[in-house]
């Protein structure tokens, strides 16, 4: 996923399905300077992790 699309998803009021390694995730915030996202699995809100934006897939 590119940075622009990740920013659109993050600011959207709609629920947009995004996955990381096949698991549905929620994007918490972005670090545009490093092209990474802070995400957590939908079923584990405390499991935050840093992932490369390029590894996120919109479904």
Domain boundaries, given as residue ranges, for the chain = 3-58
* Fold of the CATH domain 3-58: SH3 type barrels. (2.30.30)
Between CA 32 and CA 59 the distance in angstroms is 22
From CA 7, how far away is CA 27, in angstroms rounded? 10
Q: Where are the alpha helices (DSSP H) in 1-59?
A: 3-11
Token representation of residue 47: 């499991």
* Half-sphere exposure (Cβ direction) of 56: Cα atoms closer than 13 Å: 30
Q: What does each of the 59 residues of the chain score in pLDDT, given as a tens digit?
A: 999 999 999 999 999 999 999 999 999 999 989 999 999 999 998 989 999 999 999 99
Q: How far apart are CA 8 and CA 52, in angstroms?
A: 17
């Amino acid at each position: 996923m590119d940075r622009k699309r990740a920013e659109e998803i993050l600011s959207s009021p709609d629920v947009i399905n995004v996955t990381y390694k096949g698991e549905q995730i929620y994007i918490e915030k972005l670090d545009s300077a490093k092209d990474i996202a802070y995400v957590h699995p939908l079923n584990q809100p405390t499991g935050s992790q840093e992932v490369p934006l390029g590894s996120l897939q919109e479904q």
